[in-house]
Chains A and B, each alone.
Chain A
Amino acid sequence: MTAVSFLEGGLDANRALPGDGLDWLKKRRDKGAEKFGALGLPTPKLESWKYTRLRPLDDNTYTPVLDGAGDASVKDLPSVGDVAGRLVFVNGKLREDLSDVSDLPEGVRFGPLDEILKDDPAWAEAHLGVVAQDADQAMLALNDAMMDSGFVLHVQKGVVLRKPVEVVMVGGMTDQPVAYFPRNLIVIEPNAQATLVKHHVGRGVGAYFANAATEIDVADGAIFKNYKVQAESMQATHVSTTHARVGRDATFESFNLSIGGLLSRSEAWITLAGEGAHCGFNGAYMMRGNEHCDNTSYIDMAVPNTTCKQVYKGVLDDAARAVFQGKIHVARDAQKADGRMLNKTLLLSNEAEIDTKPELEIYADDVQCAHGATTGQLDQTALFYLRSRGIPEALARNMLVQSFLGDALDEITDAHVREVFMDRVVHWLPAHCYLAGEWKESA
């Protein structure tokens, strides 16, 4: 099959994957394989893939990671600090020695997918593939076919998780290109609350291809905050497809900080399914070299009285490219919808490029919606002003970049995570960066 030339062993490799004894899962895998066989990898001929081509998959053959993650030492993994639980995956496989879920509160399940498939297959069957269903998403179909592990976060009715839970996904460190397919399942039951921080990092040398799928069910009255830092390596291809459903009076907040990865595509499909649902869907991207970063989202305001706010800001240096495609869809009877979308990009070099496509598709008549996109360069007058006060050019540039991204990061409602993310932003900035002040003051 030509469609899977990038995968050693093709889609048949999936027979060795977890849950092989489960009939329903086998059917799902087979269906995914069939669908992907028919669709093949997305090409720029598809409207939603017009600006992003999965070129590394043309150039490499990746071996699916089928067995354990090995015990290679991985040090200095990122963390937000005090967490309720932490799972570390290396090339898609859980590393128990680096994980700690021994202290989870009552009513919270947080573990690898393969474990839940083993321990509670009925629950898994009832939830897996419910929110994430789409007929034409090749990358989701590929994940359906190949899902290896990934994590499950399940918070029961009314349970409030005070500390965040954390997932670290490490890629790389292999002699030959590897592929892995995390499948993540998040179920936040009615009136429950949880915060998740995901770190994606690349280590060592070696190309890798991560094709993740995440499904999120934020039930009525629940609050779920989903924070992601993508700091993949310069040889990484990172594709993630997220489907989320937000119930009545529920809040789903998401922030995607993309600071590294040769090629990344984060695609999200969010349905505001219950009245009073709110979604804050935000992010920041900082790319350099020849990195390519694509954020594509579709937010469906399906019922009356929902709100959504989207702020994406990015900084591109060298020959980096970014794509922002955002669509807010307001259904015919979704009156009083309030939807806002903003994308702003700062180009630090003449070779950097952004393709931005914010769209509103409104079928209701009583709505408040707005969208906008701007692209610009560093404000030379501001740069001169800072320099005229003695601030060296490199630092002045960093200050302006940081302040530019600041109002995207201000959308992060968890103050501690916001600080940690701002710190990552500062570390992305070129050297000689020195900041004496406290940026918190601006918040």
Chain B
Amino acid sequence: MLEIKDLHATVQGKEILKGVNLIIEPGEVHAIMGPNGSGKSTLSYVLAGRDGYEVTGGRIIYEGEDLTELDPEERAAKGIFLAFQYPVEIPGVPNSTFLNEAVNAVRRYRGEDELDKIQFVKMLRAKTKELNMSDEMLKRAVNVGFSGGEKKRNEVLQMAVLEPKLSILDETDSGLDIDALKIVSDGVNALRAPDRSSLVITHYQRLLDYIVPDKVHVLARGRIQKTGGKELALELEKNGYADYAGEEAA
């Protein structure tokens, strides 16, 4: 599904990713953990194609295709979804309009018929209910005035509506209460399928009790320093990242 080879990336001239290697097979869930500032969000932005995150070396192969030259909207249409660590507020654009535009844009890109208003509303209502969100949040402007947890839920709603093949969740669990964590995890698990994969960035082992990963990676100093199974998360919880502090690769 996804193969990252020796990926180097810079932000504003500063190299943040210094040779990341990662392979995610179809159907797998991988978790990335790592200290603050180690480059986790940078990796997620690079995968989603954000301007200003420049790939200076290596390759990202997604379903056999090199992603690096593709626009963010093309990547989205091909099934990549990033749940943002800090979801963005967009005043004046109602949440439902936003979701409708997104769904239809992706469908157009794939050569599918757009959903008409009734089909869309029906689908949206069902997903909203599954995530225990109120219809009122659909009418409000995207993320404006949403609480931290509501924003994260809204990310998962977008994911549920777009049904991506590769979901990247950047600290979607941060700021969620225990019930919300369960709901959000259910949302992610609902998308688990032999042809879908997820990359879950988190600081907390607890999330991985709900979304059980196939592999856990430690990203530190711009590289994957260690890969293991679920037990690696428990070990990190106990020992912290001291083992990976090492000296800065110049």
CB-CB under 8 A for A406 and B92, given A390-B105, A393-B73, A395-B105: yes
B→A interface (CB under 8 Å)? 48-51, 71-73, 75-77, 81-82, 84, 87-94, 96-98, 100-106, 109, 114, 117, 120, 139, 141, 158, 162
Question: Which residues of chain B come closer than 8 Å to A386, judged between CB atoms?
Answer: 90, 98, 101-102
Question: Which residues of chain A come closer than 8 Å to B91, judged between CB atoms?
Answer: 403, 407
Asked whether, in the complex, the Cβ of A381 is within 8 Å of the Cβ of B88, the reply is: yes
Which among A387, A400, A434, A441 is the interface contact of B72 at CB below 8 angstroms? Answer: A387
CB-CB under 8 A for A436 and B101, given A388-B76, A390-B76, A390-B109: yes
- Over the window 390-433 of chain A, the binary record of Cβ atoms lying under 8 Å from chain B Cβ atoms (1 yes, 0 no) is 11110110011011101100000000000000000000000000
Question: Which residues of chain A come closer than 8 Å to B87, judged between CB atoms?
Answer: 385
With the chains together, A203 CA to B103 CA distance in Å? 39
Inter-chain CB contacts under 8 Å: number: 106
- Over the window 373-395 of chain A, the binary record of Cβ atoms lying under 8 Å from chain B Cβ atoms (1 yes, 0 no) is 00000001110111111111101
Looking at chain A's contact residues, the main secondary structure is helix
19 A–B contact pairs at CB < 8 A? A384-B50, A386-B90, A387-B49, A387-B76, A388-B49, A388-B81, A389-B158, A390-B109, A393-B71, A395-B101, A407-B91, A436-B104, A437-B96, A437-B100, A439-B94, A439-B97, A441-B94, A441-B96, A442-B141
Which among B76, B90, B114 is the interface contact of A382 at CB below 8 angstroms? Answer: B90
Q: Which 4 residue pairs across A and B have the least CB separation, nearest first?
A: A437-B97, A403-B92, A390-B76, A389-B102
Number of interface residues of A (CB under 8 A): 30
Which among A388, A435, A441, A442 is the interface contact of B101 at CB below 8 angstroms? Answer: A435
Question: Which residues of chain A come closer than 8 Å to B82, judged between CB atoms?
Answer: 388
CB-CB under 8 A for A438 and B97, given A391-B105, A406-B92: yes
Asked whether, in the complex, the Cβ of A437 is within 8 Å of the Cβ of B101, the reply is: yes
With the chains together, A384 CA to B51 CA distance in Å? 8
Question: Which residues of chain B come closer than 8 Å to A434, judged between CB atoms?
Answer: 101, 104
Nearest opposing residue in chain B for A385, CB measure? B88
CB-CB under 8 A for A390 and B141, given A402-B92, A403-B93, A437-B101: no
Nearest opposing residue in chain B for A396, CB measure? B73
Asked whether, in the complex, the Cβ of A385 is within 8 Å of the Cβ of B90, the reply is: yes
Asked whether, in the complex, the Cβ of A442 is within 8 Å of the Cβ of B104, the reply is: no
* Least distance between B136 CB and chain A CB atoms (Å): 11
CB-CB under 8 A for A385 and B84, given A390-B73, A393-B71, A403-B93: yes
